[in-house]
Amino acid sequence: MVDTNLQYTEQNIQVLKGLEPVRLRPGMYIGDTDIKGFHHLFNEVIDNAIDEAMAGFCTEITVTLHPDDVLSVADNGRGIPVGIHPQEGRPTVEVVMTMLHAGGKFGSGGYKVSGGLHGVGVSCVNALSEFLEVDVYRDGHHYRQRYVRGVPVTGVDVVGPSQVIGTTVTFKPDHEIFGKNLHFHAETITGRLRELAYLNKSVKIVFNNAVTGESETFHYTGGVVAFVEKLNQLKDPLHKPLYAFKERDDIQVEVSLQYNDGYQEILFAYANNIHTLDGGTHVSGFRTALTRVLNAYARKNTLLKEKDPNFTGDDVREGLTVVLSVKLPNPQFESQTKVKLRNAEIDGIVNSVVGEALADFLEENPAAGRKVVEKALTAARARAAARKAIELERKSVLESSTNLPGKLADCHSKDPRECELFLVEGDSAGGSAKKARNSKFQAVLPLRGVVLNVERARLDKILNNNEIADMIRAIGSGISTVNVNGNGDDTGDTFNLDKLRYDRIIIMTDADVDGAHIRTLLLTLFFRYMTPLIEHSHVYIAQPPLFGVRHGKVIKYAMDEQELEEIMQDMPKRGIQVMRYKGLGEMDADELAETAMDPATRRLVRIELEDAVKADEIFTVLMGDSVQPRREFISRYAKEVSNLDV
């Protein structure tokens, strides 16, 4: 077994050939070679350890972030086999590390269930790493093999004896493949570890940040129930969470749900630990069961009268928080970017597991049952009221052509394709924006005060809010009665993109915490009630600068301290004046035009659906275990957005 032969052998050439396509076209295997692909390497390695846990052999995983973007993932599973592979004639661990698609699913010890979206296997990580080292502890020995860019540079050596069993994979992403400036983000890593710990309650996951000396442990023996409680922690729940787990035909269904007194549906659905943002067959099975069982229960207990119509899906989803996790042998996803589960057999299984569990829960908890049904009744009435309000609104728009809000300074062009609407925080900045705009194609709508928090309000109330009603009228395309939450719902029938009056809707707020708050509220509104605006990339954020540096007649602008620093270095220090803009109101019309409005010079960020989903999650999930004030989240998200420059 011991082989320290470093020669470039025929076998090494074969390995290189085997993994060559990965280095030639990394994007085909890990999506991209940007920050996402960079972290994909980590996902692939942690998924292997989680697979070992799902198979029931691993209880503890330790992830360590070392200096220089070296990452290691240690598990106490069975250890990757080291014996000679019967077909390949080389140690199995070497085969796993150097051959494409030679993942865990071989031999009799293979897994029933396996994670990984692309399932490309750890050999891809190896191919794309400057170096990778695998330490295997089993059969009383500690083995190690080292690779450089996927090619073994040692044999599978015995390093010494071992009392323990497990596997440790240590690797450093190759900067020949990834940009020089990419680094592991501790928060991205811990976010995923936290999620995995909720979904796999038997595993304890430890994260050591050897760079900062910090360490965090994720272990939630409550599993999906703890996840639901976490999601509802800032809300007022109506009852104790429901929990169900069933295994049928090698398929595991695990679910927890709890209603709160709010109006939003929060649904986190997973298939083999992958967050299925676009839902799929497991989500539709869940929803069918929920509506069916609540209707049956309400009828049986005469909470719904004979003349009342059945609850709709929307009625029973208000204020519902759900974590649904299915684990299945051969997950099929709609596509690589849209994460939607396709396996047809899952719909019926989830439907029956959830249906039985919910029916039992309602029988055993009549007080909870009554509250939930009453909530659905209120939701049904509010929905009817909202439909009426929308109908009235629509009629009044149809009846008069001058139904635009009084505060709107509209543009002259009537061709939506060239028109822009600026939603501006405050009347005074609104005034400057009106002066700064090109009135041919730019319209300005000042928004006074903080916009209603749509997160906590119901549709009929949202429609009665003046600021929002003005905005809806100005935009022209209406709003959906069905709110959407990134789970692949359709958006109702009252939204009409053809009526959109502006191609670009540009949110322009101060670069402070209040501005970030308004921006998040507007994004939440667009995301929940006007989703196609975001799907079709009509929503933008203006990026007015924080600093101006004046030298004679020239002003240069900086978005942040770092840019200010760079500008200062390029300028003679004498005779310059640095201005810090506290708000849009402090800029004169020319400055505002140049930095935020004139298409030739301004900076805009286009909002992608993914950002909106993320904003929504940050709003509701609360990353991190220490309960942080809401404001801090909002400003953190605001920072993230500023990095997404188009």
Q: Are strands 204-209 and 214-218 parallel, antiparallel or unpaired?
A: antiparallel
Interface of this chain with ligand 0RA, residues 180 to 239, rule: CB under 6 A? none
Is 48 a binder of ligand 0RA (CB under 6 A)? yes
Counting Cα atoms < 13 Å in the Cβ hemisphere of 173 gives 26
CA 258/CA 230 separation, integer angstroms: 11
When the beta carbons of 105 and 185 are compared against ligand 0RA, the nearer one is 105
When the beta carbons of 104 and 279 are compared against ligand 0RA, the nearer one is 104
Is 280 a binder of ligand 0RA (CB under 6 A)? no
> Which residue is closest to ligand 0RA by CB?
109
What DSSP assignment string belongs to 83-117?
Answer: SBPTTTSSBHHHHHHHSTT-SS--STT--S----S
CA 129/CA 124 separation, integer angstroms: 9
Evaluate whether 534 touches 546 at the Cβ level (below 8 Å).
no
Is 442 a binder of ligand 0RA (CB under 6 A)? no
Interface of this chain with ligand 0RA, residues 298 to 327, rule: CB under 6 A? none
CA 452/CA 97 separation, integer angstroms: 54
Q: Binder to ligand 0RA among 109, 309, 449, 599 (CB under 6 A)? A: 109
When the beta carbons of 49 and 505 are compared against ligand 0RA, the nearer one is 49
When the beta carbons of 204 and 235 are compared against ligand 0RA, the nearer one is 204
Is 81 a binder of ligand 0RA (CB under 6 A)? yes
When the beta carbons of 78 and 461 are compared against ligand 0RA, the nearer one is 78
**Catalytic annotation, pick one of 69, 514, 563, 586:** 514
| Residue 51: closest CA among 257, 196, 248 | 196
Beta-sheet strands, E only, within 242-341: 242-248, 251-259, 266-271, 274-275, 320-327
When the beta carbons of 232 and 273 are compared against ligand 0RA, the nearer one is 273
Shortest Cβ 200–ligand 0RA spacing (Å): 14
Q: Which of the stretches 46-54, 321-329, 399-407, 510-518 binds ligand 0RA when contact is defined by CB under 6 A? A: 46-54
Which residues, other chains included, contact 398 with Cβ-Cβ below 8 Å and sequence gap of 6+?
none
Q: Which of the stretches 70-78, 277-285, 399-407, 572-580 binds ligand 0RA when contact is defined by CB under 6 A? A: 70-78
Phi, psi of 166 (to 5 degrees): 150, -175
Shortest Cβ 555–ligand 0RA spacing (Å): 56
**Catalytic annotation, pick one of 425, 470, 591, 617:** 425
Is 116 a binder of ligand 0RA (CB under 6 A)? no
What binding mask, one character per residue, do residues 128-167 give for ligand 0RA by CB under 6 A, x or -? ---------------------------------------x
Is 104 a binder of ligand 0RA (CB under 6 A)? yes
Evaluate whether 229 touches 448 at the Cβ level (below 8 Å).
no
**Catalytic annotation, pick one of 334, 356, 418, 512:** 512
Q: Is 211 exposed, middle or buried (0-12, 13-18, 19+ CB in 10 A)?
A: middle
Phi, psi of 382 (to 5 degrees): -65, -35
Q: What is the CA radius of gyration of the chain?
A: 28
Is 80 a binder of ligand 0RA (CB under 6 A)? yes
The H-assigned helical ranges of 530-629 are 531-535, 561-570, 589-592, 609-621
| Residue 328: closest CA among 279, 278, 282 | 282
Is 115 a binder of ligand 0RA (CB under 6 A)? no
Which residues, other chains included, contact 621 with Cβ-Cβ below 8 Å and sequence gap of 6+?
230, 231
Q: What is the DSSP letter of 575?
A: T
Shortest Cβ 73–ligand 0RA spacing (Å): 8
- The three-point CA angle 82-87-88 to 5° equals 60
Residue 490 bears catalytic tag? no
CA 576/CA 246 separation, integer angstroms: 70
CA 592/CA 435 separation, integer angstroms: 9
CA 288/CA 346 separation, integer angstroms: 13
Is 83 a binder of ligand 0RA (CB under 6 A)? no
Shortest Cβ 136–ligand 0RA spacing (Å): 8
Q: Is 176 exposed, middle or buried (0-12, 13-18, 19+ CB in 10 A)?
A: exposed
Is 74 a binder of ligand 0RA (CB under 6 A)? no
Q: Which of the stretches 74-82, 296-304, 344-352, 474-482 binds ligand 0RA when contact is defined by CB under 6 A? A: 74-82
Q: Binder to ligand 0RA among 46, 49, 226, 549 (CB under 6 A)? A: 49
Residue 514 bears catalytic tag? yes
When the beta carbons of 165 and 397 are compared against ligand 0RA, the nearer one is 165
When the beta carbons of 107 and 449 are compared against ligand 0RA, the nearer one is 107
Residue with tokens 């990580």: 125
Is 114 a binder of ligand 0RA (CB under 6 A)? no
When the beta carbons of 1 and 644 are compared against ligand 0RA, the nearer one is 1
Binding residue count for ligand 0RA, defined by CB under 6 A: 12
Q: Binder to ligand 0RA among 18, 23, 31, 78 (CB under 6 A)? A: 78
Q: Binder to ligand 0RA among 44, 52, 195, 489 (CB under 6 A)? A: 52
When the beta carbons of 37 and 81 are compared against ligand 0RA, the nearer one is 81
**Catalytic annotation, pick one of 510, 611, 616, 617:** 510
Is 75 a binder of ligand 0RA (CB under 6 A)? yes
The catalytic residue positions are 425, 510, 512, 514
What are the residues binding ligand 0RA (CB under 6 A)? 48-49, 52, 75, 77-81, 104, 109, 167
